[in-house]
Every structure is written in structure tokens, then in C-alpha cells.
Amino acid sequence: MARLKKFFRYENVGMLFVLPAFLYMLVFVGYPIVHNIILSFQDVNAGNLVKGTRNFILFENYLELFKDSVFTSSLWNTVRFTVSCLVFQFIAGFALALFFSKPFSFAKPVRGILLVPWMIPITVTALMFKLLFATDIGIINFLLRSLHLIEKNIEWLTTPGTAMFALICANVWIGIPFNMILISTGLTTIPKELYESASIDGAGKVQTFWKITLPLLKPTIESVLILGFIYTFKVYDLVYVMTSGGPVNATHMLSTYSYKLSFEMFKYSKGSAVANVLLVILLFVGVLYIKATTEGEDA
């Protein structure tokens, strides 16, 4: 009883506030991750799930994955999709952040309106872009025909190359506001006196951008790119709603292929292995980010 009273002292009140969140993470995040890792080392499918026979086969699922052409193409699709989205949404978000950092009328209301794409649920955005890129009733084809740029409708979502392009367009549209608002926040932390001193010394806008804005925005840019990489690399709902990994597995990402293996082909262990590959890559990126930021603080 004395030890219990000692634990509930004022000095330990912080631990009591953290305890509910810790228990929640332990049950709803920690347990599924551990169970998924164990499952990936077993042979579990629709045939032996009911029987309850779960034989450990160690790394056999992972070895089979790297011989699977769909897995390798899914990994490549995920990397290509992530890099393409990051480049375009970062450039557009950075440009908009610089634009709205200038004082002019209606800057705040317009910036608020531009946040709407990021606030809309991803499934709604996916359905909207699916209609935009539809073959017969899509607005994209209608506009291209009206401008006489095409003679017949383009099958955007049923052709491998154009399907990936449509997915990238949709994700870039979602990601631009996210990049804009974070970079805008970073711009507000730069002292105005630095720009005034630079202008007095005769520095132009290009010089101040490269010598003041970019160096002081480095921590913000790192955060934006890492968070954008994590959010984009694990994309699922956007791809599943728009293309479901098709046509002919051309737009499968690691997340969608893991879902297909687990819940359509009922290869639960193999699907878990794909999910673990995704987890390891994101953990690696997260560790690099933490290491970079802590080294910067120590310096």
C-alpha cells in the first residue's frame, strides 16, 4: 500500500496521464504488429486456417516474395509513385507558400480555401478523380475533345501508364495543401530583420532566397519531405478506390498487394510478409529522420 501511494505522488502524475495512451497503443498497435510479424513466419492460408495448423516456415514467405513478379513491380510502383508525388507536391506547395507569405488582400481566405483538398476524406477524393478520369463521362476527356486535342476518349484508368498518371495527379492534389501549410509555418519563423539587412546590403530576391530562406527552412523541408514520404509510401485507399491495383496489377502498391494476398487470395502469411516489408522501409526512413534531426540539435 505504501508503494502504491508513493507511485501516485505528484512527481509521477505525468506517467498517469500517459498510461491510457500507452495501453491503447500497446493493445491496438503493438499487438497487431507483433502478431503480423509472427504470422509472416508461418504458413497460414484459407486451407489450414480452420484446422488451426500453423507451421513455422521461417523466411520462406519472404524468399517467395522476391521471386514474385507482382511484388517486385508493386515495390517499384510504390517507389515511383512516392517520388513523383513528393517532387510535384513539394514544388507546388513551396511556390504557394512563398506566394501567400506576401501581404495582400484575401491572402488568408484563399489559403484557407486551398486547404480543402487536404481536409476532404481520401475516399471522396478518389471517387471524384475516378469520375474526372472516366473514359466516357469523364470531364478530362470532355475538355480534351472540346479543345480538339484528342479525337477519341483516352482510357485513363484502364491503361497501365495513364492509370499511374491519374493516381499521381490525385495524390498531388491532396498533398499540395499539406506542403503549403507546413512551409508557410516555417516561413513565419524567419526573422524579417534578415531580409531587411540583406536588402540594405544590396542582395536581390534570388540571393536572399538561396542564402537566407532555404538554409533557415532546412528543418521544415526535412520534416515535410519525411512526413510526405511516409504518408505517400503507405497509400492504400486512394489506389484501391480508383484502380484496385489494376489494370493487370500495373498500379499495385505494397499496401494494396498485401490486401489482395490476404483478403482476396487468402494467403495470410504472404500478405503479412508484404506488410512487414512496408513496415521495415518506413521504420528505416523514420530512424534516418530522427538521426538527422538529433544530430542537427546536437550541432
The predicted pLDDT at position 191 comes to: 87
The predicted pLDDT at position 55 comes to: 82
Instruction: Please state at what angle helix 218-233 crosses helix 69-100, rounded to 10 degrees.
Output: 140
Identity at 267, one-letter amino acid code: K
pTM for the full predicted model: 0.88
Short-list 86, 70, 102, 111, CA closest to 265: 70
> Any idea which of 35-44, 104-113, 203-212, 246-255 has the lowest mean pLDDT?
104-113
Q: What are the structural domains of the chain? A: 70-294 (1.10.3720.10)
Element at 42 (helix H, strand E)? strand 42-43
pLDDT-derived band at 254, boundaries 50, 70, 90? very high
Burial class (CB in 10 A: 0-12, 13-18, 19+), 57: middle
Note if the bond before 247 is cis, omega within 30 degrees.
yes
The predicted pLDDT at position 293 comes to: 74
Mind listing the pLDDT tens digit for each residue in 76-108? 999 999 999 999 999 999 999 988 888 777 777
pLDDT-derived band at 7, boundaries 50, 70, 90? low
